[in-house]
Structure 1
């Protein structure tokens, strides 16, 4: 289970491991190829070297890569996850697509429209040249599913406050449709719309039992979320018999 989250949303993913081969190909690069910077599982820091105001609420952010010959390492059509803090100091994670190509070396750029009440917009608005942004690579689930030699199955519980808070819903639904036997998703909302067939409230022990495989030696639990959520999930998982070796917290 993987809680990929901000306070806007929490993701709980259980992974039934057939082959742990996630992303290996990304890193088997020859010495002649540019160094790939993204890590699909861990956030890395990138320095803001230039901020250009394009309009009253749009700016271009240029971030330096570790070396002049480094590339970001983002496959075409995928997003990076940026982590920042809102005006209340709460952690926010939101996906963005760079405007630079992966063939561009030494830097990457984001063009961001900043909304008055946007939680991640606040972070970008406050950024100054010399500050650092935490960035993570392509989603683990997609890397697993698009690897033909990987038999891993993914069960995802994705919790949010409202329907509009669900990030990348179309992409996740597409994965569930295209990989029926390998990717299952269950949405949970605190404030669901009038017509809703997902879970309601907080992620419970019963939801985990119903939508994730039982504890076993080939099960890996990945979770990420605010501290109270992670604490609650750890309690549920312990009670259900998932050992500490089966659990990993981002």
Structure 2
């Protein structure tokens, strides 16, 4: 479903995902890649119509809707954590749910693209996960609600058996409780039409920053950039944001192409199968020879990122490596979320 529909249901982890694949189009094909290791609406503009009567009987006139001024400042704070109340939990599939949080004073996140929020348990909360030094466990997530959406912040959170914060959120956080959130924090300052072609390669819940970027860029009527999304998952049931992505592709058929690939495709699967490998990238991503006309964004489980683009250096990008380096892409052409 589109984010417009998502918001009406009450309502972009940054790059964290699980043990996902990466493919080649057409029939299933084996790969020598290592197994990937497991690790992130509608704008509520209030309007009203005033019906004013005149002296003549049965005569009415409609005043123009009075638009509520758009917020100029984010309801969040990138310098400190704020406790946000959980409004609702909407199950998405067998291990992922949408968590809808209330924003202070009905404001909007106004998140720059691409950006994330840092999340931890509220201070003093029962069962709050701590690290080995006794400090709160903090994880990054990319909101899937639009930056201008007022009153709510929506996070798509996948539960991992080894993920201490994701387990806490899924198992202990109930509507009415709070979660401590800081942000938005910019990851990559996307600019309209900076590139001729953008390739986005993702796995599992690593789709959230890629979706945030796509949703933002394609909503711009001046957009001239073409996008290709290569999205890998274990099974069809693990595909996240599928309806929203399909809606974007239908609405922008000349600007967006999506290629799904699965580790375990069902019978009759029309997409690709296996890992995102050299063949799939060469078939769908413009060559490195195009230089600064092409940009490749990667977001997925650490094993996938390493195999495709090399290991990150903490919060830094780290040296380019993996398949993209073998295909000639430079550090300036690749960004790892």
Q: Which TM-score band applies after superposition, normalised by the shorter structure?
A: 0.5 to 0.7
Change (3 A) 1:242 1:97: closer
Distance 1:212 1:189 in 2: 19
Aligned with 2:224: secondary structure?
coil
Q: Does 1:220 align with 2:310?
A: no
Maintained 8 Å contact 2:21/2:234: no
**Aligned equivalent of 2:336:** 249
**Aligned equivalent of 1:47:** 82
Maintained 8 Å contact 1:144/1:150: yes
Gap regions ≥5 residues in structure 2: 1-13, 24-69, 90-96, 121-128, 130-136, 185-207, 310-321
Change (3 A) 1:177 1:45: farther
Maintained 8 Å contact 1:5/1:11: no
Count residues with an aligned counterpart: 206
Distance 2:110 2:287 in 1: 35
**Aligned equivalent of 1:203:** 276
TM-score (ref. length: structure 2): 0.47
Maintained 8 Å contact 2:87/2:102: no
Q: Note the 1:1-250 alignment, pairs <5 A.
A: 6-7=17-18, 33-36=71-74, 47-50=82-85, 62=101, 71-73=108-110, 102-104=149-151, 108=152, 120=166, 122-126=168-172, 129=178, 131-132=180-181, 139-215=212-288, 216-217=290-291, 218-234=293-309, 235-250=322-337
More strand by share: 1
**Aligned equivalent of 2:313:** none
Larger Rg: 2
Give the deviation of 1:70 after TM superposition.
Answer: 5.0
Maintained 8 Å contact 1:36/1:70: yes
C-alpha deviations, 1:117-168, integer Å up to 9, x for none?
9x85642434574644777887111211121112111011000001011111
Distance 1:44 1:200 in 2: 43
TM-score (ref. length: structure 1): 0.62
Give the deviation of 1:4 after TM superposition.
Answer: 5.7
Change (3 A) 1:45 1:219: farther
Distance 1:241 1:110 in 2: 38
Distance 1:121 1:50 in 2: 18
Q: CA RMSD in A?
A: 4.8
Maintained 8 Å contact 1:159/1:202: yes
Distance 2:79 2:260 in 1: 28
Distance 1:111 1:219 in 2: 29
Gap regions ≥5 residues in structure 1: 13-31, 75-79
Aligned with 1:184: secondary structure?
strand
